[in-house]
Amino acid sequence: MSNNLKFNCYDESNKGEGVLVIYTGGTIGSMPKDREDKSSPQVVISWSEFKKNTPQLSEKTLGFNVDAYTTQPLDSCNIGPKEWQEIAKVIAESYNKYFGFVLLHGTDTMVYTASALSFMLRNLGKPVILTGAQVSHTFNVWNDSLMNMIGALNIANPKYTEIPIIPEVCIFFNGNLFRGNRTHKKDASSFYAYESPNYPKLAEYGESIVVHKKTIREIPKGDFYLKSSMNTHVVSVFFFPGIQDSKVLENILSIPDLKGVVFLAYGAGNIPTQKNIMDLVKKTADKRIICFIVTQTGGGQTVLGMYDTSAKLIDAGAISGVDILPETALVKLMHILGDEDIKYEDAILDAQKSIAGEMSLSIYPSFVENKGKISGEHKRERIGGFTINNIGNSPETIDRVILRLKNGSVETGSLDHLLISIYRGLSSEDELNKANFVGTFRQIEIKEKTVLFYDITKNIRSVISNGRESFTVVLENDEGQIEWDGMELVIFIKE
Ligand code: ASP
């Protein structure tokens, strides 16, 4: 490497038009340590050396100008929040000068950087495309770097290529354009290194660029701004058979100053129900540490309450990440907790909302703390005071509405099950009629306290609206009883 290198700066030859390339290193910008020995370990090279080896970057070849900014070139394993902030700042500084931005980056942590930028660059109205390579053109004729880089540059310049503006942080790799915060590195050597298991591709680039318009975000109406503070007092825990018999979880959860944990649970968000594990989760949430549940499967979504093994997590105070990917979930917690003044209650709500399309549903819970009981003697309980302020104009955006009785227990007496009817509004006896009927649900005996769920979507979707909402629950039987500690109305809104 030459020794007169300047890093963390804009190129002197910049013209201030076209696309800004931010060069960070990675395989795309690597060469063997011993240039004569191709098998010696690869090390990152400077932007000037990269440029010398990449004549394709000229305006004459590309058809438009490419300016550059260089960070300290790094293998992406060494990139973290400090570099994310530097990159975000560069994009913000140059936002008005370019049609788009391309980040040349190592593949190993590309999805983390893409997620971080997607949260930091608020009201983004221009393409920010991350790309890299498994094999660099700098010393290989057979490579994927030129195709990836030139593709990314063309997508980042909609003015030149005449494609729709894609106002998102994306990853372009092997002809596919993915939403960055939905992407996962799935292969350490294939050119098909990334996938987006829970969200469709935004575009494909073969002979020409085909943008899947329905999948891309709308250009925001508000002004672009930066929100880049990060808090690294977070951790991910990957559940494995045997964790319940060890001290691993206890030790991790007692890390001083911990503020958030991503639990990579089994399947749809299940973890061992052994008392020691559930108690640890509860103790962690009680310490006001965010317990964010995602699936470790690599695809699909977390549905807390689908199994008994996840229902208990709700009472313990954990929250669902729906279909957010684990890498993105961790960065999201760093980002939300980056706001030093944020209250735990607000951070919990923010984590459950989609910020930049990183999850398919936003969850809006509204909690009323009153204890309640319905029984043969006292058949009716009214629960008021839910505040709703997140429903758009169209009922179709409502995916599910769930009423949860927290820490509930059920005694059925001599019956096999109870029937519980739910009405909308604080109804008096004679108002419990068809017009505000929400549903009747079966309820079997439940001795150990747990969360009780009632899916009220069907009858509520078209009538529920922003404002105050209340319900009346009625026991239809003359015996048995249902008790609970608090009630939660949870609305799932489609992204
Ligand atoms: N270790 C390299 C990096 O992430 C791998 C790559 O770029 O493909 O920087």
Mode of pairing for the β-strands spanning 260-265 and 203-205: unpaired
Measured in Å, residue 176 CA sits from the centre of ligand 1 at: 19
Nearest alpha carbon to residue 302 among 286, 288, 317, 313: 313
**DSSP E strands, 84-218:** 100-104, 121-122, 128-131, 169-173, 176-179, 184-185, 194-195, 203-205, 209-211
Residues 252 and 343 grouped into a single domain: yes
Both 47 and 189 in a single domain? Answer: yes
Please indicate, yes or no, whether residues 302 and 377 belong to a single structural domain of this protein: no
Number of domains in the chain: 3
Task: Report CA(131)–ligand 1 centroid distance (Å).
Answer: 11
Q: CA triplet 474, 480, 481: central angle to 5 degrees?
A: 60
Residue 156 Cα to ligand 1 midpoint, Å, equals 22
Distance CA 154, CA 210 (A): 12
Q: Which phi and psi (to 5°) does residue 55 adopt?
A: -65, -20
Beta-bridged to residue 418, according to DSSP, are: 443
Tokens 């204890």 map to which residue?
371
Q: Are residues 354 and 375 in the same domain?
A: no
Are the beta carbons of 103 and 22 closer than 8 angstroms? Answer: yes
76, 138, 186, best to mutate for ligand 1 pocket (most atoms within 8 Å of CB): 76
Residue 4 lies in a domain: no
Catalytic residue from among 24, 27, 54, 450: 27
Of 308, 325, 359, at which residue does a domain stop? 359
Check if 109 is active-site. Answer: no
Say if residue 29 is in the same domain as residue 63. Answer: yes
- Whether residues 169 and 77 share a domain: the answer is yes
Pocket-testing residue among 71, 77, 83, 108, ligand 1, by greatest number of atoms within 8 A of Cβ? 108
Are 110 and 201 part of one and the same domain?
A: yes
The confidence score (pLDDT) of residue 3 equals: 52
- Output the residue whose Cα is nearest ligand 1's atom 8: 107
* Beta bridge partner(s), residue 474: 380, 421
Q: Supply the range of the domain harboring residue 464.
A: 368-494
Ligand 1 mean position to 144 CA, how many Å? 13
Query: Tens digits of per-residue pLDDT, 313-357?
Result: 998 999 999 999 999 999 999 999 999 999 999 999 999 999 999
Shared domain check, 320 and 239:
yes
Residue 439 domain-assigned (yes or no): yes
On whether both 257 and 355 belong to a single domain, the answer is yes
pLDDT at 1: 44
What integer best gives the mean pLDDT of the chain? 94
In-domain check, residue 416: yes
Looking at the domain assignment, is residue 481 inside a domain?
A: yes
- 441 and 324 within one domain: no
Residue 44, domain member (yes or no): yes
Residues of the chain with pLDDT under 50: 1-2
pLDDT at position 305: 81
